Amino acid sequence: MAASVVPVDPFDLVVVGATGDLARRKLIPALYHRLRDGQMPDSARIVGVAREDMDADGFRRMAGTALDEFAGSDAMDAALKHRFLSTIDYVPMDVSDASGWTRLGEALSDDEARLRAFYLSVAPRFFGMIAEGVHGAGLSRPNSRIVVEKPLGHDLASARALNGCFAGHFDEHQIYRIDHYLGKETVQNLMALRFANAFFEPLWNARYIDHVQITVAESVGVEGRGPYYDGVGAMRDMVQNHLLQLLCLIAMEPPARFEPDAVRDEKLKVLRALAPVTNAEDVVRGQYASSPGIASYAQDAAAATSHTESFVALKTEVANWRWSGVPFYLRTGKRLRARVSEVAIVFKAAPHAIFPSASGRSTQNVLAIRLQPDEGITMGMTIKEPGPGGMRLAPAVLDMTFAKTLGTADMRMPDAYERLVMDVIRGDQTLFMRGDEVEAAWEWVDPITRAWEERGDRPALYDPGSSGPDDALMLMHRDGRRWREISA
Ligand code: NDP
Ligand code: BG6
């Protein structure tokens, strides 16, 4: 099944922080792939901005190396790479220096109709300064866009301040707040699954669903991002954005249309209905210890006495009519057993057992939506064990791994950033967070992090390659439930 590609209009994309980790690993390869697939026109221009003093050729060499390293060797083609690099320019500047913005303006097209986007791939402390710089130098036009990365702020107050600063210079329809999870194929499939298939909806509520589990497990540690991560932790880095966005897509009411504000209004209602986590036992923090050959979090982050969590598990509820009494268990962490992200909808058991107990146990149906790796959907069922021997029940899994089902095993799945950057150019905000959504998420997170600080909680240590601290297992055991295995 080949994906159809609709080319976008010519654009100038300014990547502020173009020499950084995100730009090199994700943005530059994403743009290359869009050119390769015929979506990015040759006349589009990418203008890198950072302090490093080099000319455009120097930056093109850096971008070329980033492609070799991160774009996938199968995708590299010398002529195409040359074509892509020829779209790139570079302006060395410090964003705190007002004169830099005028120089940047000179590097941009003066065609008023041409679309301009400013991608802020820098630390959040620069966001306000950049919004002011762009505005002050008259670089923003009615059709300009500004793209900002998560996490947006550190808490509700700082998120409000940032939103206020953006609002001072841009209209909400010009602001694209990225949560790259929303650009993942399977995350978008969550919406297709729920809202393009009629048979789920009657079952999608507290009457039939026992609980929901959302897991985003990573096998890597904090890698080279220790200084950033240690000031943030798993709650702010992952739960406040990626996991809550997944929860929203599972729990939201069907929007009337697949349009930005219709979708975001429904997600906002979910965030506002989230029950506060007031019971200390309902949230577990962990930090990975060392094991032979593997450094501990404290070593990775070069922060010997750090209280920052690299793991969080928690229980919450969406306090509304549809979900009353259905716990949502969320779990994320680094250095866990495997890299796996999935949402599991665990249904209630059949109301009455008609088979004799000797025939085996009927299991609860589990609809598991696997985001990565091996994107797809499985349905855990109870069936009759095949063959003679009477009525014996056995668990079975209906497997709809997308690569198998859609015959896309050899097809490259586009990275989330490819979709999202093209959506920015197209002007489609459906997969981006609105300012009020971000604030509502912080409003729910803040009391949890504040309670940790007030109690002086230390995260429990867990072994690398495990499923996290034992307390996380207890979180579900207490309710007579268990987490699904973290396995690749
Ligand atoms: P890095 O620290 O790797 O890169 C920061 C970039 O900003 C560099 O290009 C740096 O270049 C530039 N920079 C720093 N100070 C200035 C300045 N005063 N003027 C101009 N340029 C400056 O950060 P990341 O790429 O990791 O992250 C960027 C943003 O993306 C952050 O907001 C982060 O939270 C977010 N993010 C990152 C992810 C990732 O995987 N890396 C994932 C999700 C979000 P120089 O020093 O030469 O100026
Ligand atoms: C980022 C976090 O937003 O998401 C990282 O800052 C994390 O800490 C990453 O590793 C996970 O993204 P993915 O797409 O690899 O699941």
pLDDT at 388: 84
* DSSP-derived 3-state class of residue 143: coil
| Domains defined along the chain, listed by start | 11-149 (3.40.50.720), 182-411+433-477 (3.30.360.10)
Q: Whose CA is nearest to atom 39 of ligand 1?
A: 22
What is the length of the chain?
488
pLDDT at 420: 97
Q: Which segments of 162-244 are extended strands (E)? A: 175-178, 209-217
Q: Is 50 in the pocket of ligand 1 (CB under 6 A)?
A: yes
User: For ligand 2, which residues put their CB under 6 angstroms from it?
Assistant: 218, 237, 341
Report in angstroms the alpha-carbon separations of 391 from 351, 359, 395: 19, 6, 13
Q: Is 17 in the pocket of ligand 1 (CB under 6 A)?
A: yes
Cα–Cα distance for residue pair 152/241, rounded to 1 Å: 9
Contacts of 301 (CB under 8 A, 6+ apart): 222, 226, 227, 229, 230, 308
Do 121 and 15 meet the contact criterion of CB atoms below 8 Å apart?
yes
Do 238 and 313 meet the contact criterion of CB atoms below 8 Å apart?
no
Return the ligand 2 atom nearest residue 218 CA: 10
pLDDT at 3: 61
Q: Which amino acid is located at 66 in the chain?
A: A
Burial of residue 70, with CB atoms counted within 10 A of its CB: 0-12 exposed, 13-18 middle, 19 or more buried:
middle
Q: Whose CA is nearest to atom 21 of ligand 1?
A: 50
Return the ligand 1 atom nearest residue 19 CA: 9
Q: Whose CA is nearest to atom 8 of ligand 2?
A: 237
Place of tokens 């962990």: 286
Q: Is 241 in the pocket of ligand 1 (CB under 6 A)?
A: no
pTM, two decimal places: 0.94
Beta bridge partners of 381: 396
Give the helix/strand (H/E) hosting 166: helix 156-169
Return the ligand 2 atom nearest residue 229 CA: 8
Do 392 and 421 meet the contact criterion of CB atoms below 8 Å apart?
no
Give the helix/strand (H/E) hosting 437: helix 435-455
Q: Which residues of the chain have pLDDT under 70?
A: 1-3, 403-410
pLDDT at 413: 79
pLDDT at 488: 77
pLDDT at 412: 76
Q: Is 149 in the pocket of ligand 1 (CB under 6 A)?
A: yes
pLDDT at 409: 64
Do 256 and 262 meet the contact criterion of CB atoms below 8 Å apart?
yes
Q: Whose CA is nearest to atom 12 of ligand 1?
A: 17
Ligand nearest to the CA of 150: 1
Q: How many CB atoms lie within 10 A of CB 279?
A: 8
pLDDT at 387: 87
Ligand nearest to the CA of 221: 2
What is the per-residue pLDDT across 220-273, written as a single tens digit (0 to 9) for each? 999 888 888 999 999 999 999 999 999 999 999 999 999 999 999 999 999 999
Cα–Cα distance for residue pair 313/309, rounded to 1 Å: 11
* DSSP-derived 3-state class of residue 385: coil
Ligand 1 centroid from CA 123, angstroms: 5
Give the 3-state secondary structure percentages of the chain, helix then strand then coil, rounded to 5.
40, 20, 40
Return the ligand 2 atom nearest residue 225 CA: 8
Contacts of 475 (CB under 8 A, 6+ apart): 281, 282, 284, 313, 314, 315, 329
Q: Is 95 in the pocket of ligand 1 (CB under 6 A)?
A: yes
Cα–Cα distance for residue pair 163/348, rounded to 1 Å: 42
140: Cα separation from own chain's centroid: 28
Catalytic residues: 242
Q: Whose CA is nearest to atom 19 of ligand 1?
A: 94
* DSSP-derived 3-state class of residue 33: helix
pLDDT at 186: 85
Q: Whose CA is nearest to atom 14 of ligand 2?
A: 181
pLDDT at 273: 98
Ligand 2 centroid from CA 162, angstroms: 22
Cα–Cα distance for residue pair 14/27, rounded to 1 Å: 11
